[in-house]
Amino acid sequence: MIGEFERTFGAVLEKKTLGKKKVLYALRVRQEDFPKMVRFLLSMPTVRLFTMVGTDERPFEDAFSVTYWFADWREGEILGIRLYVPEDNPEYPSVASFHKGALWFEREVKDLLGLYAKGLPDPRRLILSDDWPEDEFPLREDFEYYSSPLSERKPQYLPKIEGTSVHAIGPYHIALDEPAHFRLFVRGEEIVGVDYRGFYSHRGIEKLARGRMNYNQVCFIAERVCGICGFCHSTAYAQAVEEAAKIEVPDRARYIRTILLEVERLHSHLLWIGVAAHLTGFDTAFMRVWEVREKVMQLAERLTGNRKTYGLVVVGGVRRDLLDYRVSMIEKFLKEIKKEFDRVVDFLLSARSFVERCRGVGVLTKELAREWDANGPVARASGIDYDVRRDFPYAAYPELSFDIPVYTEGDVLARAMVRIDEVRESLSLIEQAIDAMPSGPIMAGFNEIPGGVEGISAVEAPRGENVHYVMTEDSNVIYRWRIKAATYNNLQTAPDMLRGYTIADAPLIIASIDPCYSCTERIQVMDVGRWEPCP
Amino acid sequence: MNLVIPLIIPFITPILDGIARKVRAKIQDRIGPPVLQTWYDFISLFGMESIDASGSLTFRLAPYLAFGSAMAMLFLLPYGDSSPFGFKGDLIAFIYFFALFSAVVVLSGMSVESSYTMAGASREITLSLVFKPAFAVVVALFALKSGSLSIEEITHSLHLAPSVIGAYALLIYITYVEAGFIPYDIAEAETEILGGVLSEYSGRALAVFLWAFQIKRFAMIWLLSSMIVLPFVGGVKALIAQFLTALTIFILMVVYESMNARHRLDIAVRKGIKALAAGCILLILAFFGW
């Protein structure tokens, strides 16, 4: 990807190399060429829009910047194109006008930084609440973290489709235990259109990390972005900083990270399988699967001291070592989990009524999955063979062998099967990692992290790719930190998955992407007593 | 004596529900709530104000009408040797109250402007359209074979024939469906439409409605157990046998329920149509003396 791109457009660009196979180009002149470049990149079959970062670079560039990051998952290359957007004319050409996957990125930048994408198909508010004033942009440097301006409440729902009634799922719904508001336009029981409003739990965690915390504290707040794939977030963040500061992580730390990443995947997938069973009224399978999940949490507790939110990752390695005498205990746990999991999956799939509910429901075609940049199990169930662990290797994955299950049906059952297969792969990965675990230090030694360097890194979370981008500042703080969770892309496919099915299928279809609203919206935990962010 | 039994049964049904919870918990490797939990729930609900979500009389009356129809179903059933209010043609009355129950559920759902209750009501109608006729066909077969329209007489004058055995099988299936067990709790699907028609009810009205559902479930199972027991057992023993059979059927149904996921409406309807077709074929067989 990088070679071809440079041959075609290299002349107008300023190049900066971030790492092996990671390049950033700045486009300072001829912004009108930008859509052409993006079209060129996305026309390659294995290139996807990875993330997009808007930054207030006024203190040193005298302009805002938006950076589109692309990833070629066959070559393992990452390429960024940066546009500078002046304050007096905050406009740039839209990518969403021809590539759906960019829609939320551009809406987000509009909300948080006040930069407008010319030609944005859906310019409604995405992140900020309905009563936030029009001219306040919280991610700008001159906006105070603690100010919370108010204005009149103006909800921007899509107009109702003629001849339908609105069936609301959320903001709080029994089948959706997180705040998300789906407005289903239904004719009888059939869904003909969908409107989504989310980001009720956006709390500006990226703003919080800006200048208020040092780079190591951010690891812990990153872990609290999500209650389920938190470790993936802290790992992705730490990897981004390590890449920016050129820190080499010791082997043992890489293996420890791998083990815990896979323990987390086990937990997440088991949780999801249980929830899927519950949503179809199959509570026996739900309870039995969660019994296995309980074992995984016990294992995590014995390894890290915490059932969830392990708090182990720091920049440069991990905080605590896994003790060698634990090895036999882990092996015992794995054996039990494997046995019980096989039994429980047999039981689940032997219930015809459950399989009937999942088969042929919520189909996402490969083309749509590509357009929305779906990732993780959602993409793999639609025939896209992409997994960050193999394609952008990190931690100890390059040294371990594992299969990546890919199904082509694109329905709920395929997504369930991907996760079921991945549980088995995770069990084998943990075993391999324990066998091959090297000895040695668990922390890298390094000096002060330089300012103005950038890093981008991804981790295959249970739900898909978590991409973290970091730009540092002097005195060990972070200037810009951008989190993109897997659900950010996958959730956007939900309306396309829901259309044409019934309201009976809706909770299952929504759940089948394993949505994580807190990841997508980037929350942080508040200490209610003091009403301040918890440290 | 037999007059009192239908009055005692409503107090037993919440305990049966408690037993169902225990059984389900056992299957799911949980401890489960106490057997009296459903009673505790009802008592606390009875102490709570019920909020009138629609302001319409239908909405307020529906739980009591449903309770009334369920009780009427109980009174028409045989207990041991006799049925307290049995008369010639009580089978028709039973079907009437059985249908009235569904009608009340549908009306209560339609009386509130909520997409959840509306969805519940429309699902109830759809299911009724296929399963109620199927039930009627089975009943017609029994009436044809025994030459009577009284539940008690039917149970005493049934003779086993191929069509009657088929009708029994269908009756078991339809009882299961009408008792509202998963996979057929579609009209009240909690995780899809928040309990359907029940979603707007609260407090006392909710308790009465839930109670009515339990009584109706029990009445359906009691009918099935009567059909199984009474042709073979008579006297005082019959009542005990009826109760034990009903309890066994109930527990077996709970066990089957916990092994299944909920059907989608179209799948349930397809199964209902098959049941109806099977019933019609059996009826024709019965007509020709099989």
Shortest alpha-carbon distance between residue B125 and chain A (Å): 13
pLDDT of residue A522: 66
Q: Which residue has the higher pLDDT, A528 or A292?
A: A292
Furthest-apart CA pair in chain B: how many Å? 58
Dihedral sign for Cα atoms in the order B190, B196, B200, B204: negative
Contact across the interface for B27 and A284, Cβ inside 8 Å: yes
Task: Of A493, A521, A19, give the one whose Cα is nearest residue A225.
Answer: A521
Identify the band that residue A234 occupies on the pLDDT scale cut at 50, 70 and 90: very high
Task: Tell whether B265 is within 8 A of chain A (Cβ).
Answer: yes
pLDDT of residue A524: 47
Span(s) in chain A for CATH 3.30.460.80: 2-156
Contact across the interface for B29 and A287, Cβ inside 8 Å: yes
Q: Which CATH number fits domain A2-156: 3.40.50.1950, 3.90.950.20, 3.10.200.10, 3.30.460.80?
A: 3.30.460.80
pLDDT of residue A533: 41
pLDDT at A526 over 50: no
Please indicate if the annotation marks A358 as binding a ligand: no
Identify the band that residue A381 occupies on the pLDDT scale cut at 50, 70 and 90: very high
Mean residue pLDDT of chain A comes to 86
Give residue-wise pLDDT tens across range A198-224: 888 887 888 888 867 888 888 888 888
pLDDT of residue B36: 93
Span(s) in chain A for CATH 1.10.645.10: 205-357+423-533
pLDDT at A177 over 80: no
Give residue-wise pLDDT tens across range A269-319: 999 999 888 888 888 899 999 999 999 999 988 888 888 888 899 998 899
When CB atoms are compared, the residue of B28, B116, B185 closest to A288 is: B28
pLDDT of residue A255: 92
Q: What is the DSSP string of chain B?
A: -TTTHHHHHHHHHHHHHHHHHHHHHHHTT-----TTHHHHHHHHHHTSPPP-SS--HHHHHHHHHHHHHHHHHHHTS-BTTB-TT--TTHHHHHHHHHHHHHHHHHHHHHTS--HHHHHHHHHHHHHHHHHHHHHHHHHHHHHHHHT-S-HHHHHHH----HHHHHHHHHHHHHHHHHTT-TTS-GGG-HHHHTTGGGGG--HHHHHHHHHHHHHHHHHHHHHHHHHHHTTT--SHHHHHHHHHHHHHHHHHHHHHHTT-PPPPHHHHHHHHHHHHHHHHHHHHHHHTT-
Helix (H) or strand (E) holding A110: helix A103-113
**Residues above pLDDT 90, as percent of chain A:** 27
pLDDT of residue B149: 83
**How far apart (Å, rounded) are the C-alpha atoms in residues A323 and B20?**
47
**How far apart (Å, rounded) are the C-alpha atoms in residues B169 and B173?**
6
Q: Which residue has the higher pLDDT, A162 or A329?
A: A329
Task: Tell whether A150 is within 8 A of chain B (Cβ).
Answer: no
Contact across the interface for A357 and B119, Cβ inside 8 Å: no
| Tokens describing residue A193 | 């259109």
| Section A411-440 average pLDDT | 91
Contact across the interface for B185 and A280, Cβ inside 8 Å: no
B 129-168 residues with CB below 8 A of A?
none
**How far apart (Å, rounded) are the C-alpha atoms in residues A349 and A327?**
32
Report the first-to-last Cα separation within chain A, whole angstroms.
Answer: 42
| Section A395-399 average pLDDT | 90
| Section A405-409 average pLDDT | 91
Residues of chain B with pLDDT under 70: 1-2
The size of the A-B interface in CB pairs under 8 A is: 87
- Is the separation of the CB atoms in A362 and A395 below 8 Å? no
Tally Cβ neighbours within 10 Å of residue A450: 13
pLDDT at A532 over 70: no
Shortest alpha-carbon distance between residue B27 and chain A (Å): 7
Task: Tell whether A291 is within 8 A of chain B (Cβ).
Answer: yes
**How far apart (Å, rounded) are the C-alpha atoms in residues B226 and A290?**
40
Q: Which of A93-107, A519-533, B214-228, B237-251 has the lowest mean pLDDT?
A: A519-533
pLDDT at A535 over 50: no
Please indicate if the annotation marks A226 as binding a ligand: yes
B 19-38 residues with CB below 8 A of A?
24, 27-30
Q: Which of A113-117, A287-291, A329-333, B84-88 has the lowest mean pLDDT?
A: B84-88
**How far apart (Å, rounded) are the C-alpha atoms in residues A326 and A302?**
8
Domain A205-357+423-533 sits in CATH 1.10.3720.10: no
